[in-house]
A and B are shown apart, each in its own frame.
Chain A
Amino acid sequence: MFEVPEDRKYLESHEYATTDGDTATVGITDFAQDELGDVVFVELPEVGDEITQGEEFGVVESIKAVSDLYAPISGTVTAVNEELFDRPELVNDDPYGDGWMLEVDVSDDGAFDDLLSADEYREQTE
């Protein structure tokens, strides 16, 4: 079915964050991109902005729908995938790779513990 890599953790609203060190990569899951259909627009914060776990940090739009993006972890944005502004379809093509959205300097290490494991997330989407 849908790809759910083990090397990251998940929010119920279908965003992921990697758990490797203090810098996390944030994006949406394979399941989410499939549900949305053709992604045509992303609205993301700027480098230096703060995002807060569970709160909105941006918007992703497909041809048929608008969806808010929720932060899986809290921290300071250190990089934004600007490639998505011109090629939003990367979110569909490679959600865990070239379709990443933000890099975040994670402010609270413990925040990862509140997220779902790959197994728990997989269970939710089945």
Chain B
Amino acid sequence: MALRKPPLSGAYGADARFTDFGGWEMPVEFDSIRTEHAAVRESVGIFDVSHMGEITVTGPDATALMQRLTSNDVSALSVGDSQYAMITDESGTIIDDTIVYRLPDEGERYLFVPNAGHDEEAYRRWVDHRDEWDLAADVENETDEWAMVAVQGPDAVDAVGSQTDADVEPFSWGEGAYADVAGVRSWVSRTGYTGEDGFEILCPTDEVGAIWEAFVDAEGCEPCGLGARDTLRTEMGFLLSGQDFDPDDEPRNPYEAGVGWTVDLDTEFVGRDALARVASDGVEEAFAGLILRERGIARHGYEILADGEPVGHVTSGTMSPTLGEAIALGYVPAALAEPGTELSVAVRGQEKRAEVVSTPFIED
């Protein structure tokens, strides 16, 4: 199958390197991961995240449909707000994580963002359940119509403020509005996945080039690839779909994955009853952060050991550009997930001492 190319493909310049991500040919690195990572932590960077899916849900029962298919309380969203939520199956296993935006159109209108390559599956899930429950809602997979960039970093407010007619500075986290960005009608939301202040900008696919160029050329934003996105989100302890959870290879419920706060058991959704049992019984395994105390880097798939015996595995691991230390995320028995616990990681067969630490790895 041919890789889907983001609409900005032509704007990246000759230095970009690419990777297959969820069926999309995405830039992994422009300059260097270290440079791009530092730009986001210290000033401002821009990511093309057009590989993310966009699905809209409208109509009289739009809220009901969203409520029953996502873990968080959709009815709590004011117009313009957004929330992080899990999409779970009947057993409470995370199928995907998503941001749900409530858009200010007439009536009820939502846009949610499934991960790369999951848009068609999410669309089918929404349509099938709508029909099964006989709800009045229109569901559209608009992934091809929307492009998305993320402008992230301590200087993001200034950069975005200079390019838009909206007063974005007073926005609280998750708040958004329609605005002209570099002359392009867009949805601008104070969200992101780097741990820094910043915005995600959704705009029509064929106009995203003007936005990218405005931020790179006029605002001096560092173009950033998925490599830096991965080191940034790992430093925050944020989950990566398909790696830190995956319904087939890494089936995890939200409590194990450390995102129990996205579950509202007072709402009715697919997986709610199973998760209520987990909430009352507790989890056997928990998502933990590790720092290696010996030279080496823990990578995805490496075993985590306690007293020389395998007790879990690393789901994400890298050298933290901010800390200059090897950090990792993975699942271990709940009793071993307490910060300060001494474990080890088998790095190519050699045991390296590691310590459980609380996440985020860097100061919030």
Contacts and interface: CB of A to CB of B under 8 A. Distances in A.
Given A63-B321, A64-B28, A41 B297 contact: yes
A66 B299 contact: yes
Residue among A37, A38, A63 with max Cβ neighbours from chain B (10 Å): A63
Interface string A59-78: 10111101000000000000
Contacts of A43: 296
Chain A binding site: helix, strand, loop or mixed by DSSP? Answer: strand
B227 A41 contact: no
B33 A64 contact: yes
Contacts of B297: 40-41, 61, 66
Contact of A37 (B32, B230, B296, B299): B32
Given A63-B318, A64-B227, A41 B296 contact: yes
A85 B34 contact: no
A40 B32 contact: no
B227 A37 contact: yes
B253 to A, nearest CB: 30
B29 A64 contact: yes
B277 interface: no
B29 A40 contact: no
Nearest to B33: A63
A66 B298 CA distance: 10
Interface string B111-148: 00000000000000000000000000000000000000
B286 interface: no
Chain A's interface size range is 10 to 19
Interface in B213-227: 227
B348 A59 contact: yes
Given A37-B32, A38-B32, A63 B299 contact: no
A38 B223 CA distance: 17
Nearest to B318: A63
A31 to B, nearest CB: 13
B227 A85 contact: no
B321 A41 contact: no
A62 B326 CA distance: 12
B319 interface: yes
B319 A63 contact: yes
B231 interface: yes
A37 B29 contact: yes
A98 B235 CA distance: 30
Contacts of B227: 37, 63-64
A63 B34 contact: yes
B295 A38 contact: no
A40 B299 contact: no
B212 to A, nearest CB: 22
A38 B34 contact: yes
Contacts of A40: 297, 319
A97 to B, nearest CB: 19
A66 B321 CA distance: 16
A40 B299 CA distance: 13
Residue among B28, B32, B231, B321 with max Cβ neighbours from chain A (10 Å): B32
Interface string B31-75: 011100000000000000000000000000000000000000000
A85 to B, nearest CB: 7
B223 to A, nearest CB: 15
A37 B321 CA distance: 13
Nearest to B350: A43
A105 to B, nearest CB: 26
7 contacts: A37-B32, A37-B33, A37-B227, A38-B32, A41-B295, A61-B297, A66-B299
Interface of A: 37-38, 40-41, 43, 59, 61-64, 66, 85
Nearest 8 CB-CB pairings of A with B = A40-B319, A38-B34, A63-B33, A64-B227, A61-B297, A38-B32, A38-B33, A41-B297
Given A38-B32, A38-B34, A41-B295, 12 more contacts: A37-B33, A38-B321, A40-B297, A41-B296, A41-B297, A41-B319, A41-B326, A61-B319, A63-B34, A63-B319, A64-B29, A66-B297
